[in-house]
Amino acid sequence: MADGGQERQRFGMKFLDTLRPGQRLQVASWLNSPIGPHSTHIATYIGHLAKDGNILPLTVSHWTRMPAIFVLYAMSEVKKVFDCPDDLNDWIIDKLHDRWKSHKYSVKKEGFYKYKTQEERLAHRPKDVVESQWGPLIEYWQNPHQDAICAQNKQNKSKRTVYHSGGRKPHVKYAAELEAKLKRPPTAQEIYDATHAKQKKQVEALENKPSQHSSQSSSTRQNAEVLQLKVQDCT
C-alpha cells in the first residue's frame, strides 16, 4: 500500500509475520460467520484493507456506489491470506462495508469536524487518507445536503436504547461457545442475552444452564434459522 495505506501502523497484524510463502490461515464457518483461532485475525485484516484508500476509495459517496471490481479485489486480497469457505463471502463484504464506513467517519472526525475553514481542513489531512482524495472529500462533506443527512443520522443514533455489551467478541463466537456448553443449538434469545447482558454474572448464569437434549430437538432447525437472522442483523 502506498499513500494512505501504510501511514498508520498495522496494529494487531503480527500474525502475518509468521506466514510462510504460499501459506494461508484456516478459517472455518458457522452460520455463515467465521469461527476458530483465526476468526479475529481475518476481521483485523479486513479492517486493514478497508482503510486503504487505494483499494476502497473514500471518495465514493456511499457503499452501494462502490465499484464491484474494487470490492472483489479486496475480497481476493483477504483470500490470499485466509483459506475460508465461499459461504463467508457475504460476511467478508459486509465487514468491508462496516470497516470502510467506520474509517470514513473516523477521518471526518479527525480532519474535518475539528476545523472550521477549508484551508485548515486541507492542511490537516489524516495520515491514512490518500492525498488526492482529501480535497474532494472536504468538498463533499461541506455540501449543505450532507450536513442535513448527518444531523438526521445523529438524531437517529441518539434514540438507541439497547447496546451490545460483549466487547470485541463477535456474536457468532458467543453462539458457538453456548452451543458447546449447552450441547444444543442456542436460541436467538439466549444469544441476545449473552451479548447484551449488563453484568458478567448474567452471562455466566446463562452459560451454566443444564443441557436439554430432548426438549430442544424439535426446535433445532427453527432456532438455527432465527439465530442466523439475528447474527446478520448484528454484524
pLDDT above 90 (res 184): no
pLDDT digits (tens, 9 = 90+) for 33-87: 999 999 999 999 999 999 999 999 999 999 999 999 999 999 999 999 999 999 9
Decide which of 181 and 229 is more confident: 181
Residue 102 maps to a domain: yes
Same domain, 48 and 130: yes
Q: What band does 204 get if pLDDT is binned at 50, 70 and 90?
A: low
- Residue 135: count other Cβ atoms within 10 Å of its Cβ: 14
pTM: 0.67
Same domain, 134 and 40: yes
Residue type, 199: Q
CB 81 within 8 A of CB 24: yes
pLDDT digits (tens, 9 = 90+) for 75-125: 999 999 999 999 999 999 999 999 999 999 999 999 999 999 999 999 999
Residue-level pLDDT at 73: 97
Same domain, 31 and 84: yes
* d(C-alpha 198, C-alpha 195), whole Å: 9
Cα of 11 vs its chain's centroid, Å: 16
Same domain, 132 and 225: no
Decide which of 200 and 182 is more confident: 182
194-216 mean pLDDT: 59
* d(C-alpha 59, C-alpha 52), whole Å: 12
Q: Which of 21, 80, 23 is nearest to 48 (CA)?
A: 80
Determine phi and psi for 126, rounding to 5 degrees: -60, 145
Residue-level pLDDT at 8: 41
Number of folded domains in the chain?
Answer: 2
pLDDT digits (tens, 9 = 90+) for 128-166: 999 999 999 999 999 887 666 666 566 655 565 555 555
Same domain, 130 and 179: no
Same domain, 35 and 148: yes
Residue-level pLDDT at 45: 96
pLDDT above 90 (res 187): no
Q: What band does 214 get if pLDDT is binned at 50, 70 and 90?
A: very low
Q: Is 226 exposed, middle or buried (0-12, 13-18, 19+ CB in 10 A)?
A: middle
The grid coordinates listed for 18 are 509468521
Instruction: Scan for cell 495520515, then name that residue.
Output: 127
Residue 76 maps to a domain: yes
Looking at the DSSP bridge assignments, the partners of residue 217 are none
Percent of the chain predicted with pLDDT > 70 = 67
Task: State which residues form the domain around 177.
Answer: 171-234
Residue 115 maps to a domain: yes
